[in-house]
Structure 1
Amino acid sequence: MSDLVIRAATGHDVDGVLDFWAEAAEGTSISDDRSGVNALVARDLHALLLAERDGELVGTVIAGYDGWRCHLYRLAVCPRQRRQGVAGALLQAAERRFAALGGRRADAMVLDHNAPAHSAWTAAGYGSEPQWSRWVKHLS
């Protein structure tokens, strides 16, 4: 994986990230737009992690920390780059970030019907907790 570079996104990356998510991420969110991603990058300069290979964006993860819990969103890998360690490298970078911030527990939002993602999260050591439900309210 030595040719893979993990770095924090900047405001200059926003349009490329949105294009990438349209191709590589399953589904979209109400905040998957320029203003939403710009707000994320402005609020926490290190939350949106990008994986690049030969200057090409091949993966993303949002590693958010609210001071209490660590939250993972938008783990996405370019379809041509899957099963090559990109997701694992992104998760390791996110977990290093969380450890440096003092985070002790991470959770991930994963679509119920995305079986390949469930396998990837399980392989990375994450487990589902059926006693918890996630409730979502769109605020705009």
Structure 2
Amino acid sequence: MNDLRIRAATPDDLDAVLAFWQRAAEGASISDDRDGVARLLARDPESLLLAERDGILAGTVIAGFDGWRCHLYRLAVHPGQRRRGVATALLKAAEERFVALGGRRGDAMVLKENALAHHAWSAAGYAPEPQWSRWVKPLGF
């Protein structure tokens, strides 16, 4: 895992990240477009974390903090890089970011039918909370 580098995305990474999500992420998001990701980086430039191995994008996670809660989105690992510590390293970097910002609890949006993701989140110490149900509404569309 020593050859893995974690860094914050820059606007120059937008096209590569969007193409990566098409290959590596399960399910499309309504905000998976250049404008949506650019807004994310403009509002919180350190929120989109990238994992690179040998200069090639191996994984992503969005680690957003709104001042109250820590939110994790778009944890995605390239199929050829899975089970090599990429997700673990990304989540560790996200959690370190949250602690530095004063965050106390992280939550993740995970598709119910994505069993592979459930394994990764569980291995990282996250657990579903059966008493909560997430309700989502696209805004402005």
TM-score interval w.r.t. the shorter chain? Answer: over 0.9
Secondary structure at 1:57's aligned position in 2? strand
1:77 matched to which residue of 2?
77
Structure 1 Cα separation of the partners of residues 32 and 59 of structure 2:
16
TM-score normalised to structure 1 length: 0.99
1:116 matched to which residue of 2?
116
1:53 matched to which residue of 2?
53
| C-alpha RMSD of the superposition | 0.4
- Is there any run of 5+ residues in structure 1 with no aligned partner, and where? none
Structure 1 Cα separation of the partners of residues 13 and 37 of structure 2:
10
Give the superposition deviation at 1:116. Answer: 1.1
Give the superposition deviation at 1:92. Answer: 0.2
Secondary structure at 1:22's aligned position in 2? helix
Structure 2 Cα separation of the partners of residues 8 and 129 of structure 1:
29
The letter of the residue matching 2:63 is A
Give the superposition deviation at 1:3. Answer: 0.4
Query: Is the counterpart of residue 27 in structure 1 residue 20 in structure 2?
Result: no
Structure 2 Cα separation of the partners of residues 121 and 17 of structure 1:
21
Superposed CA deviations along residues 78-100 of structure 1, whole A, max 9, x for unmatched, are 00000000000000000000000
Secondary structure at 2:135's aligned position in 1? coil
Give the superposition deviation at 1:64. Answer: 0.2
TM-score normalised to structure 2 length: 0.98
The letter of the residue matching 1:128 is P
Any residues of structure 2 matched to 1:127-138 within 5 Å, and which? 127-138=127-138
1:14 matched to which residue of 2?
14
Structure 2 Cα separation of the partners of residues 47 and 25 of structure 1:
17
The letter of the residue matching 2:137 is K
Secondary structure at 2:103's aligned position in 1? coil
Any residues of structure 2 matched to 1:60-99 within 5 Å, and which? 60-99=60-99
Give the superposition deviation at 1:39. Answer: 0.4
- Is there any run of 5+ residues in structure 2 with no aligned partner, and where? none
